[in-house]
Amino acid sequence: MFLYILRRLFQTIPVMLGVTLAVFLMMHLIPGDPAQIMAGENADEAQVQQMRENLGLNDPLHEQYIRYVVNAVQGDLGTSIRTKRDVATEIFTDRFWITVQLATLGTALSVLIGLIAGIISATRKYTFADVSIMIVALFGLSMPNFWLGIMLIYFFSVNLGWVPVAGWGTWQHVILPVVTLGTGGAAIIARMTRSSMLEVINQDYIRTAYAKGVSDKLVIYKHALRNALIPVVTVVGLQFGGLLGGAIVTETVFAINGLGRLIIDSIKSHDFPMVQGTILVCAVLFVLVNFLVDITYRLINKRIDLN
C-alpha cells in the first residue's frame, strides 16, 4: 500500500508538469502583449520594455517555463497586477480555505443525503419512497446553481429571515451556499448509489450472505454497500474536485470571497498572474483529489490492482 501511494505520487508528476505548462502557455496564448497589458494602457514604450524585461519575456520560452516551474514549486506565483500583492499569499490567506470549507461541506452534504436516499431507493425499489426520491433527485439535478441559490436566498433570507443573505463569517453564512453546492451532487450520488446497489443486490455473494443468516441491515451495509461504493466514489471525487475550482457561480451569488470569485475578478481585471496562480492551485487540488479517490478504491476493494 505504501509503495503504491509512493508510485502513484510519482505518477502525478507528469500531470502536474502538463498543468503548469498549460497555465504557463496561457500567458502567451492570450491575444495582445502581456507586457503591454500588465504595464497598463497609458504606459510608454520604455515602460513596456522595462515590464517585458522584468517579466523575463525576452528570454527563450523554455527558460521562461523552467523559471516559472522552479518559482511555483518554491511558492512564488508572481505578483498580482490588481492588488500588487504576492499571488500565493493572496490565495492562501483566506480565499483558499473558504473554498476548501465550502467544497468539503458541500460534498459531505451531498454524500450524506445522496447515499441515504440512494440506499432507501434501492432497498425499496418501485415503492412510493423510491419513486419520490428519484423525482426529487431529478429536480435536484435539473436546477441550475444560480437559480437554486437565489431561490434559497429569497425564501430563507429575505422572507423568513433565518439566515444572512450573503457574505461569510458565521456558521449561518455557510448554510445556504453549502445547500446550493450540495444539491446537484446529492442528486447524482442518490441515482448512482441506487443503480449500483440494485446491481450488487442481485449478486451471488449477497445470496450467500442471506444463506448464512445475516440480517437485512448487515447485508445492505456490510456486504452490498461496500461493493456498490466504487462508482459512487468516482462521482464524489469528481464532484469534490469540481467544487474546489468551480464554485464560481455559488460564490458569486452569495458574495463569498473564495477561489471561484477570485478567478472571475482577476479575469475581469486582466490580472494574469492571479488567474494563472488560481488555476494552478485548482488544478493541483483536482489531481490530489483524484489521487485520494484511487487510494479509496483500493481500500474499498482490494481486488483493484494498482499496478
Contact status: 195 vs another protein (CB under 8 A) = no
Cα separation of 102 and 163, whole Å? 16
Contact status: 205 vs another protein (CB under 8 A) = yes
Contact status: 226 vs another protein (CB under 8 A) = yes
By beta-carbon proximity to another protein, the closer residue of 48 and 300 is 300
- Closest separation in Å from C-beta 299 to another protein: 10
Contact status: 203 vs another protein (CB under 8 A) = yes
- Closest separation in Å from C-beta 216 to another protein: 8
* Residues 243-282: x where in contact with another protein by CB under 8 A, - otherwise, as a string: ----------------------------------------
- Closest separation in Å from C-beta 131 to another protein: 17
- Closest separation in Å from C-beta 199 to another protein: 13
With a CB cutoff of 8 Å and minimum separation 6, the contacts of 199 are: 228
- Closest separation in Å from C-beta 203 to another protein: 7
What does the radius of gyration of the chain's CA atoms come to, in whole angstroms?
24
Residues 238 and 231 sit within 8 Å (Cβ to Cβ): no
Of 216, 195, 198, 181, whose CA–CA distance to 111 is shortest?
Answer: 181
- Closest separation in Å from C-beta 229 to another protein: 9
Contact status: 124 vs another protein (CB under 8 A) = no
Q: Which 8-state DSSP code applies to residue 159?
A: I
Contact status: 234 vs another protein (CB under 8 A) = no
By beta-carbon proximity to another protein, the closer residue of 45 and 204 is 204
Q: Is the dihedral of CA 47, 52, 56, 58 positive or negative?
A: negative
- Closest separation in Å from C-beta 208 to another protein: 5
Answer for which of 14, 32, 60, 213 binds another protein (CB under 8 A) is: 213
Contact status: 214 vs another protein (CB under 8 A) = yes
Answer for which of 3, 46, 160, 211 binds another protein (CB under 8 A) is: 211
Which residues ranging from 282 to 301 are in contact with another protein (CB under 8 A)?
A: 300-301
Answer for which of 117, 189, 209, 289 binds another protein (CB under 8 A) is: 209
Residue 200, Cα to own-chain centre: how many angstroms?
29
Residues 183 and 148 sit within 8 Å (Cβ to Cβ): yes
Binding site for another protein (CB under 8 A): 203-205, 207-215, 222-223, 226-227, 300-303
